[in-house]
């Protein structure tokens, strides 16, 4: 194939570098997509003037602006923790893409514990979040971090249970094996179990990403902007980047687990395109909910998780186990 002889480690590094950069570009443009979508829902136009006619250059302009802004460190902050927090927050959000295959054998690493790796790494995100909340030494930031910890403890388990339903149906934690198992039938179309799991996955996703109606931790009217209230300039940009990267990663996960991943009509080379399209469908579903609903109270959030979502997903997982035990694994 190629005359260049590099050690395999170097190839992996190059591959990871390319994936990372494509993703960062994608994340930037996902923000534009969300803004345009939200504008449409509210009968506005959205970004327009930077890169006419539809604001194509807006993400780049935003990034440049944030880079040139003053970097403010509050005098009473815990400096080291405050400065490290955006990085600790960002790293897990980018690491989750390590196990996401974009087509058969096209991805950084198709681990045989892919789904578990995704869940484990994204659970680390909370460390960066409360570092930011605590390090700022601001009562709003601290309150927000406490709410975040509260919410993430509550919604981690339903999220994991919902994501485990396709794992049990496919009989594997490997992303590519889960997609292959959906050749006959996408898991979202699996009778009853598929739809319920998909809805639970979406709700838990909304909560895990702290989106409206679950965004009490950055409730503008009471907490200003939550744990990131003291951040400015590039550090603020890193936090935003991490949030959108996490959202994009979860959309990819949903597309792989429920919507058949890269399966679709046409030649196999179209695989990444189908995957991206499905991930964007999930992203827009989440965005649609975000811009349609109102924020709910903290006790309602906890009640939904512990009294409804948790028992429901647990029962669903048990039911899936029963179905697989009687009918055998696979999407047929």
The least distance separating another protein from the CB of residue 81, rounded to whole angstroms, comes to: 7
Q: List % helix, strand, coil for the chain (3-state, nearest 5).
A: 70, 0, 30
For residue 133, what are the CA distances in angstroms to 148, 224, 238? 10, 13, 15
Q: Which is nearer to another protein, 188 or 253 (CB)?
A: 253
Q: Which is nearer to another protein, 150 or 195 (CB)?
A: 150
Q: How many alpha carbons fall within 13 Å on the CB side of residue 98?
A: 19
The least distance separating another protein from the CB of residue 107, rounded to whole angstroms, comes to: 15
Site of interaction with another protein (CB under 8 A): 9, 78, 81, 111-113, 116-117, 119-121, 123-124, 126-127, 130-131, 134, 142, 145-146, 149-150, 152-153, 156, 173
Q: Which is nearer to another protein, 58 or 205 (CB)?
A: 205
Q: Which is nearer to another protein, 115 or 286 (CB)?
A: 115
Q: Which is nearer to another protein, 85 or 196 (CB)?
A: 85
Cβ atoms < 10 Å from Cβ of 104? 14
The least distance separating another protein from the CB of residue 195, rounded to whole angstroms, comes to: 27
Q: Which is nearer to another protein, 31 or 305 (CB)?
A: 305
- Identify which of 309, 263, 319 has the alpha carbon closest to the alpha carbon of residue 102: 263
The least distance separating another protein from the CB of residue 124, rounded to whole angstroms, comes to: 6
- Identify which of 196, 173, 200 has the alpha carbon closest to the alpha carbon of residue 329: 173
Which parts of the chain are beta strand (E)?
none
The least distance separating another protein from the CB of residue 152, rounded to whole angstroms, comes to: 7
User: What is the rounded distance in angstroms from the CA atom of residue 275 to the CA atom of residue 186?
Assistant: 13
Contact 254, 180 (CB under 8 A): no
The least distance separating another protein from the CB of residue 216, rounded to whole angstroms, comes to: 16
């Amino acid at each position: 194939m190629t005359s260049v002889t590099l050690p395999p480690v170097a190839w992996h590094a190059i591959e990871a570098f390319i994936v990372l950069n494509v993703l960062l570009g994608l994340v930037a443009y996902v923000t534009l997509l969300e803004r345009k979508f939200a504008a449409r829902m509210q009968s506005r136009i959205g970004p327009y003037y930077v890169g006419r006619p539809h604001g194509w250059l807006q993400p780049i302009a935003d990034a440049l602006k944030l880079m040139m802004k003053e970097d403010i460190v509050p005098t009473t902050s815990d400096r080291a923790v405050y400065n490290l927090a955006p990085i600790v927050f960002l790293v897990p959000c980018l690491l989750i893409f390590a196990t996401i295959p974009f087509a058969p054998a096209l991805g950084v690493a198709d681990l045989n514990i892919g789904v578990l790796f995704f869940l484990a790494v994204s659970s680390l995100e909370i460390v960066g979040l409360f570092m930011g909340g605590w390090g700022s030494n601001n009562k709003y930031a601290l309150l927000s971090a406490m709410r975040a910890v509260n919410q993430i403890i509550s919604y981690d388990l339903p999220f994991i249970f919902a994501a485990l339903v396709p794992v049990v149906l496919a009989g594997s934690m490997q992303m590519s094996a889960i997609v292959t198992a959906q050749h006959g039938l996408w898991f979202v179309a699996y009778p009853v179990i598929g739809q319920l799991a998909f809805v639970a996955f979406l709700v838990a996703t909304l909560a895990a990403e702290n989106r409206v109606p679950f965004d009490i931790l950055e409730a503008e009217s009471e907490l200003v902007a939550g744990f990131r209230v003291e951040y400015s300039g590039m550090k603020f940009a890193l936090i935003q980047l991490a949030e959108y990267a996490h959202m994009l990663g979860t959309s990819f996960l949903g597309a792989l687990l429920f919507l058949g991943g890269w399966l679709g009509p046409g030649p196999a080379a179209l695989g990444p395109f189908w995957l991206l399209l499905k991930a964007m469908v999930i992203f827009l579903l989440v965005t649609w909910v975000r811009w349609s609903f109102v924020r709910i109270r903290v006790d309602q959030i906890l009640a939904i998780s512990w009294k409804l979502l948790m028992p429901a997903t647990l029962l669903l997982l048990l039911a899936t186990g029963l179905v697989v035990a009687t009918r055998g694994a696979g999407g047929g």
